[in-house]
Chains A and B, each alone.
Chain A
Amino acid sequence: MCVCSRFAKTTSTVLLVAWSLSWGTAAHALDLLNGDFQLNGFASLTLVHTTDNNFFGQSDNQISKDFSELGVNASWRLTPALQLSAGLLSRRAGGTDDGGVRLDYGLLDWTPMSSEEGRAGIRMGRIKTAYGLYNTTRDVPFTRPSIILPQSIYFERTRNLTVSADGAEVYVERYGEGGTLSASFAYGQPQTDTEAAKVPLVGLNRPGSLDSKLAPDLQILYEGAGNRYRLAFTALRLDLKYQPGYRDILQAGRFRLTPLIFSAQYNAENWSLTSEYALRRTSITDFGPYFYNGTFNGQSYYVQGTYRLTPQLEALLRYDAYYADQNDRDGKDFAAATRLPAFTRFARDWTIGLRFDVTPQFMLRAEAHFVDGTGFLAAQDNPNPQALRRDWDNFMLQASFRF
């Protein structure tokens, strides 16, 4: 209740500020200091209805309003070589996120090297993790192709581990005749201090805590022919240790997760085709007899097409597949070892969607997911795995505003 009212208060304040800012000026961002200081923001509300299982709150055979996003960010170009930026985010997402305001990113970007052919620099502070094509702006509705990103790669339930990290990132860009080649390497501390980060790895109601080593993150991106082609490779390594709590049945276990992501996108004038493939090497060790230890490769991919029917209307079709273990795609070995449903180890999601840009500031979206498997569902919203249903549909409506 307290969280809801706090959220409502924040929402209304931001909407009021946004409204007063946009009133009387055509510009959608606030520019001060000759445009060197910019303030932007967004807000979204979503209705979720599922035929079975819960997604973003109690959605099973009812309508959940527990998914909303609210963000404000500011940037200040101090000199041509220095930019200071910060973003605040309040996100409610069923049992996985409570709407508490947090620093999404906050960084100093220094670009000491710059010429006609390229530039190089370093970002320091809390930095958005480069992870596939969509991760750095994953909570900004206007930058997503759909209401929720393909869950096989951009899990909502494990998002906290990959959303941003505290550390530094060096980057190099080269502007060539054919296209732009960019590379970035970040080294930082992922955020592991929340229940939302812990639950998807060790389960509900565990008294212990997770610690992470500094995580390296490499991304190489090629954008050719004026962004018609975008090709990327991402490699990330997470090394997490579990510190058992009082009377914990789990021992001091270790997770090592090494996702490799291959991304490709083709953009024509009225349509785009995007595909990403991820190989997720996962090693779970030393948790003791009451946990599923093992080393396996997870596999994820999606193929997505969007088509602009009119300048304001865009249609989406996507097939998204997730397998926790590519040698146990149907989850039978897992089910035999754990007595949990086999279908919690995969998810195949056919998605159709429609985006309507009412104005450049206001967007409406409708989306339907037809899913086989429950691999990406959050335990917080579905505490009893035996109550899960294998085949389920998910319908969502979203309204988003930005300034």
Chain B
Amino acid sequence: MEKTPAIKFATSLLQLALLWLLASGLVLGVAHAQSSEPAMVVIAHPAVTEDSIPRATLRAILGMRLQRWPGETPVKVFVLADETPEHTTFSKSVLQVFPQQLRMAWDRQAFSGQGQYPEVVPSTQEMLARVASTPGAIGYVKASEVTPNVRVLKIR
């Protein structure tokens, strides 16, 4: 019972520390978003009619919420493994979602019956091959690795 004032003090200390963390994180977050990274582009099956896509829609597709393109073609999402530099860069700079947040969102949906996981492909070559051959497919590669048999989607 004697530790109540101590706990109160510790609570206020914790609150201060967390506020400071939050503030510094906001500053870091802004600084981070402005730094430049190797360019990743969104690619889709050539029959996908769009040539640009809003970032919010792209987030909903990669977040495995939006399941079909306008015109009812099913969306098929391909990703590389979480720890690959391509996935990390794509998540952070194109999608602007931290890869661990994307993973959490997939887990939350898959383990409550509200969604599914995207298909993980082992390499960029496989990504290009699968996106080129699967109707409604969407994925990502480095800008320098785009092949003519996939469509590049701009972010608007």
Residues on A lying within 8 angstroms of B by beta carbon are 26-27, 29, 31, 35, 38, 40, 42, 71, 73, 75, 77, 79-81, 83, 85-87, 105-107, 109, 111, 114-117, 119, 123, 127-128, 136-137, 140, 142-143, 173, 175-177, 179-180, 225-228, 266-269, 271, 273, 303, 305, 311, 317, 319, 348, 350, 360, 372
Contact = CB atoms under 8 A, between A and B. Distances in A.
A106 B111 CA distance: 11
A268 B67 contact: no
B111 A140 contact: yes
Contacts of B115: 75, 83
Nearest to B113: A85
Given A75-B113, A273-B18, A273-B21, 9 more contacts: A27-B120, A29-B110, A128-B112, A140-B111, A143-B108, A143-B111, A180-B56, A266-B25, A267-B98
B57 A116 contact: yes
A137 B110 CA distance: 9
Given A226-B97, A267-B98, A348-B7, A80 B110 contact: no
B116 A75 contact: yes
A175 B56 contact: yes
B16 to A, nearest CB: 12
Nearest to A227: B101
Contacts of B10: 350
Chain B interface mostly: mixed
Contact of B22 (A127, A140, A175, A266): A266
Given A87-B113, A269-B32, A227 B22 contact: no
Contacts of A319: 11, 14
B76 interface: yes
Contacts of B110: 29, 38, 40, 73, 75
A277 B45 CA distance: 46
Interface string B5-34: 001001100110010011001001100100
17 contacts: A42-B111, A73-B111, A77-B116, A85-B113, A87-B112, A111-B67, A123-B113, A143-B108, A175-B65, A180-B56, A180-B59, A225-B96, A226-B97, A228-B29, A303-B15, A305-B21, A372-B7
Contacts of B11: 319
Contacts of A303: 14-15, 18
Contact of B75 (A80, A85, A137, A228): A80
A271 B25 contact: yes
Chain A interface mostly: strand
B122 interface: yes
B57 A226 contact: no
A173 B25 contact: no
B147 to A, nearest CB: 22
A114 B102 CA distance: 21
B120 A180 contact: no
Q: Nearest 3 CB-CB pairs, A to B?
A: A85-B113, A226-B97, A80-B68
Nearest to B96: A226
A114 B61 CA distance: 11
Given A27-B120, A29-B117, A75-B116, A177 B32 contact: no
Contacts of B97: 226-227
A267 B15 contact: no
Given A227-B101, A317-B14, A77 B76 contact: no
Nearest to B105: A227
Contact of A81 (B63, B68, B116, B120): B68
Contact of A226 (B72, B95, B114, B122): B95
A319 to B, nearest CB: 6
A273 B15 CA distance: 11
B74 to A, nearest CB: 4
Contacts of B105: 227
B60 interface: yes
B54 interface: yes
Contact of A26 (B18, B65, B117, B120): B120
Nearest to A304: B18
Interface string B108-136: 10111111110110100000000000000
A40 B108 CA distance: 12
B126 to A, nearest CB: 11
Contact of B98 (A83, A269, A305, A350): A269
Contact of B21 (A87, A114, A180, A271): A271
Residue among A35, A136, A225 with the highest chain B CB neighbour number at 10 A: A35
Interface string B69-98: 010111110000111000000000001111
A91 to B, nearest CB: 14
